[in-house]
Amino acid sequence: QYANKTFSVYDWIWKDSVQMDNYFQAFLKRSPSVQQVDAELQKATAMAKEIKRIQNATRIRSFIISAEQNKKQLVNECDLWTKRCLELIDQQTYQRLSHLLEHSQLFLERIDMVQYDRNSDGCFQFIFMEMKEIIIQIDMDLVNIANMQEVVRNRRDVQKEEENQGRWNSYEVKRRWQKLFQKLSHICQEKNIA
């Protein structure tokens, strides 16, 4: 009875990994701010601290009830919860970066396809205007992604080089878009259509 009352408020921690993934996928689909993500991660950290403050043992008449094992399990579950959330945030930011890279590749292919066509001025103007419109949104996306990566890095206490080894980061993707925009601007200036 004592254990049930004491630990019942932590029942949500026992969700299986599928429920946990579904919960965080739904959370990430809402495009949370960095502050919301950090607050979500702090829930489990605060919960672990709260659990550690529970008495290790309670005496009820002549019985001593130990809560130490339950506490260890719950603190471990809190850690798993945080790690899984960080993994999902990391996956999502990587997918978003991959999408932006693919998008830049499509723009590059469109530019290359019409670059040497004499009748391509209208096409270039359209591509240039389109890119001018989306480049601001891309910059905002990349700032958000960089902030999310920073949250993950700070929580995992991982060095920047280790985390991004063999993976794209937001700064590299931004550089690629900037080079692409500069290339398009240069071509448009040569053709006097900017």
| Number of other residues whose CB lies within 10 A of the CB of residue 146 | 17
Q: Is 29 exposed, middle or buried (0-12, 13-18, 19+ CB in 10 A)?
A: exposed
90-137 pLDDT, tens digit per residue, is: 888 888 899 998 988 888 888 888 777 767 777 777 888 888 888 888
pLDDT-derived band of residue 2, with 50, 70 and 90 as boundaries? very low
